[in-house]
Structure 1
Amino acid sequence: MENKAVVLGSNYYIGLSLIRCLGINGITVVAIDHSRKDTYGSESKYCSERIIAPHYREETREFISFLKNYANKQSHPPVLFPSADPYVEVIDQHLEELKEFFLIPQTEPGLYTKTMNKEKLHKLAIEKGVAVPETVSMYEEDFLEKAENTLKFPCIVKPVDSHTFVSVFRRKMFKVQNREELETAVAKAKKAGLEVIVQRIIPGFDDHMYTFDAYLNQNAKITHWTTFQKYRQYPINFGASVYTTQKYVPELYEIGAGFLEAIKFKGFVEIEFKKDAETGKFYLIELNVRTTNFNQLLYKVGLNMPYIAYRDLTGNPLEPKAIKEDTNIVFWYAFEDLLAVKEYIKTGQLSLGKVLVSYFKPKAYAIWDWKDPKPAFSFLKIILNKVFRKISRK
């Protein structure tokens, strides 16, 4: 394994999972962060180098130069793995120059950003014949009337740029019950300089959320894939997976494979769908174009996506593989799942009994690993420090 793997961002469990999935196969893994703070992922025994670089947004030009200089010193071009959307955006903006020094699956500049943009993604999906929830742009003429008469209330106000929206409002979207709340939500977004879309809520509880996870080679053909069903997410109803199971749903392959190959996507990607509780129809919600948060579950069911990408990009691809059965294994991010369960029970969406029964399944943990425990203890220390500071301020 002469090519190193460079992981951008180890301050979240996605980065930790990337490090483990690559390091366990004997690959030299390098964790690059802009600060030492909370980088518990780099505490993994599978991390060979820990490096501090300029901030990817505050010092973007310096960050890109830093990456190029680092790669230029290596005997073989490293494989680049972003662990979060902001890193993906920066890579996409500088794809042409970074590809001279790193191995990166995507070859079309702008495709990452285009598919991360909610409005552009929905237009692309419609163009390719994939169903998406009915949507109205804030810039459309008479958009308030269209939202009220076409989408009906309640509906959701979603950001075009999710990461910036979350950093400002600490939530993924606004759920609005009437026209007044819609006007308020859009006004807040405008004040923050953010573009939003208004969208119909597809009926169904959180367990109607599904994903299609796949790897596409350099010919933009799917070589590895499986499907999942969410049980719980946080924040509840409109959040990220905290308790998810692998479940074989052939229809998701039929929809997802055609769409991804049609747009010539390359590398790992996850399509999130919601199944309409009334009609059974699947609607495309969004794409995750970087490693998913339940990557450890993918690894557990036999699809080590980071390693699959590494082997493909270094010229020694693995045999194609798909998981076409139910393994009954679940991904569990215990910390946020406990917060989610509290809200589900409080709002009457789940009973304690139903929650407890769900835990009797084999698990893939977000952070804990008996063979690599140090990151979990580092994470626990971070949480305890936050709790202590919060108590101290009272």
Structure 2
Amino acid sequence: MARRGTRLAVDRTVPGLILKIGAYPLHHGGVGAIRSLGRLGVPMYAVTEDRFTPAAVSRYLSGRFVWPTTGREEPERLVAGLLRIGRRIGRPTVLIPTDEEAAVLVAEHAEALAGAFLFPQVPPGLPRRLASKQGLHALCAEHGVPSPAAAFPASYADVEAFARRARFPVVAKNREAFVRRTRPAVAGTTRIGGPGQLLDLARDWGPRPGVILQEYLPREQAEDWIVHACFAPGGAPLALFTGVKVRSWPPHAGMTACAFVVDNPGLAQRTARFAARIGFAGIADLDWRFDRRDGQYKLLDFNPRMGAQFRLFENAAGVDVLRALHLDLTGRAVPGGAQPAGHRFVVENVDLPALFAYRGGRRTPHTPVRATGTELAWFAGDDPLPFLAMLARSVGPGARHLRELRRAGRRARTEAPPRQGEGPK
């Protein structure tokens, strides 16, 4: 169901473009972004892997640009393709990255893109530092923001030395966000129980392990908090929301499957101070973990782009972080208002298995006993086709057929900018 915001004074002459790099067609965040601005009458465009992605079939999409990418393309080639899309749209367009690669590309090539697109101005190297586990850890240390203790081994000998002194379990993560350009050391967040397991894994990491070995914050003594925000240049918050993650998929280490809006003014202030100190502007998605052992909120991730679950949050005036960005970039005032505490967000296709995985576990602190309302990631009565496309790609013969079509399209268009016939219909 559509939520509030239909009376926001948005500039409907300025479109939005969902920019993604790499193949992840089942991305509910992109669908949410198309709906969020599309429901206000803003023309919405999207870069898609093919014509059958959920985002590509939304009723609120004015046009799609079929452009399969891998994340391994040269930046100059991506910029050229993006400028070609800008010429097809034909007017300045708000650029909305949905992954770190896209956010970094925009920041590092802002001068080339500025004529065709609207986006926040940030220090060119900042999004890359924030997307890097090592870069974020260094920024936290520089600005006095707590984060989990971490080591960055440069060799197998460093891993051996760490194994002798570390307190297990520990967590291994890929050091850089752009692992699609190389072979990732680990598939995702990996819990390591002891020195033997660590050394066995490290034998496959090569001479220069691209990992971060991080302090493990036990679930039974920690709480997972999320902050979604949009900052003006200089770090002043235009919209700032806090919530609690209840379930994720894969369990305890993956994307949000279910979360609730929960007020946390102290955490909001911490986030705003950090953003101002580093000079961040635009949309951000942050993961914090409250460690009850020492009473500290520790920053795990600072994603310099829209988070997939951003539609959990909308203030009393109908402003979410994307609407705040569009209003600000088009010179409009951003109305304030309280966030609806107790509101729930559910990602249908991953929360069902997550429910079984979390069955019988401890209840997440601060979780409301009953939701005041629910936002579904995929299903919407006014825009049902993305939900059906998600189902078709997820199960059954339809999914295999669509995968075959997608592979054929990739073979035909690998690393090619969108063709003339693949623009807005």
TM-score category of the 2 structures, normalised to the smaller one: 0.7 to 0.9
TM superposition shift of 1:339: 1.5
Following TM superposition, by how much is the alpha carbon of 1:228 offset from its aligned partner in structure 2, in angstroms? 0.6
Contact 1:34–1:56, Cα closer than 8 Å, also in 2: no
Where 2:203 maps in the other structure, the secondary structure is: helix
Counterpart for residue 65 of structure 2: 51
Give per-residue Cα distances to partners, 1:141-173, cap 9 Å, x unaligned. 745334542x40011111112452798578422
Give the alignment's Cα RMSD to 1 decimal: 2.9
d(CA) in 2 for partners of 1:211 and 1:46? Answer: 28
Other structure's SS at 1:189 match:
coil
The one of 347, 361, 384 aligned to 1:349: 361
Structure number with higher helix proportion:
1
| C-alpha contact (below 8 Å) 1:203/1:277 kept by paired residues | no
Give SS of 1:123's match.
helix
Q: Which amino acid aligns with 2:322?
A: P
* 1:2 pairs with 2:13: yes
CA distance in 2, matches of 1:147, 1:274: 24
Structure 1 SS opposite 2:389: helix
User: Is the contact made by 2:311 and 2:375 (CA closer than 8 Å) also made in structure 1?
Assistant: yes
Partner amino acid, structure 2, of 1:237: H
Q: Which amino acid aligns with 1:118?
A: K
> Structure 1 residues 332 and 103 mapped into 2: Cα distance closer, same or farther (>3 Å)?
same
Q: Structure 1 residues 221 and 368, CA, compared in 2 at 3 Å: closer, same or farther? A: same
Counterpart code for 2:270: I
Q: Is the 8 A contact 1:154 1:175 kept in 2?
A: yes
TM superposition shift of 1:201 = 0.8
Greater shift after overlay, 69-78 or 289-298?
69-78
Task: Give the alignment of 1:218-233 within 5 angstroms.
Answer: 218-233=233-248
Number of residue pairs the alignment of both structures matches = 379
Kindly indicate whether residue 138 of structure 2 is the aligned counterpart of residue 127 of structure 1.
no
Which residue of structure 2 lines up, in the alignment, with residue 105 of structure 1? Answer: 120
C-alpha displacement at 1:103, in angstroms? 0.7
Give the superposition deviation at 1:283: 0.6
Q: Does 1:295 align with 2:310?
A: yes
1:97-127 CA distance string (max 9 Å, x none): 1223211113321211110101110110111
CA gap of 1:130–1:322, structure 2 versus 1, over 3 A, is farther
CA separation of 1:386/1:337 partners in 2, compared to 1, >3 Å: closer, same or farther? farther
Structural mapping, 1:1-394, within 5 Å: 1-9=12-20, 11-36=26-51, 38-53=52-67, 55=69, 57-60=71-74, 61-72=76-87, 74-139=89-154, 142-149=158-165, 151-162=166-177, 164=179, 168=184, 171-190=187-206, 195-205=210-220, 208-299=223-314, 302-323=318-339, 327-345=341-359, 349=361, 362-385=373-396
Kept after mapping to 2: 8 A contact 1:32/1:53: yes
Question: 2: CA distance between counterparts of 1:204 and 1:260?
Answer: 27
Q: 2:118 aligns to what SS in structure 1?
A: coil
Tell whether the 8 Å contact from 1:207 to 1:230 is kept in structure 2 after alignment: no
Q: Distance in 2 between matches of 1:219 and 1:289?
A: 15
Task: Give the Cα separation in 1 of the matches to 2:114 and 2:224.
Answer: 35
- Compare relative contact order (CA 8 Å, sep 6+) and give the higher one, 1 or 2: 2
The residue type paired with residue 261 of structure 1 is A
Distance 1:65 1:77 in 2: 16
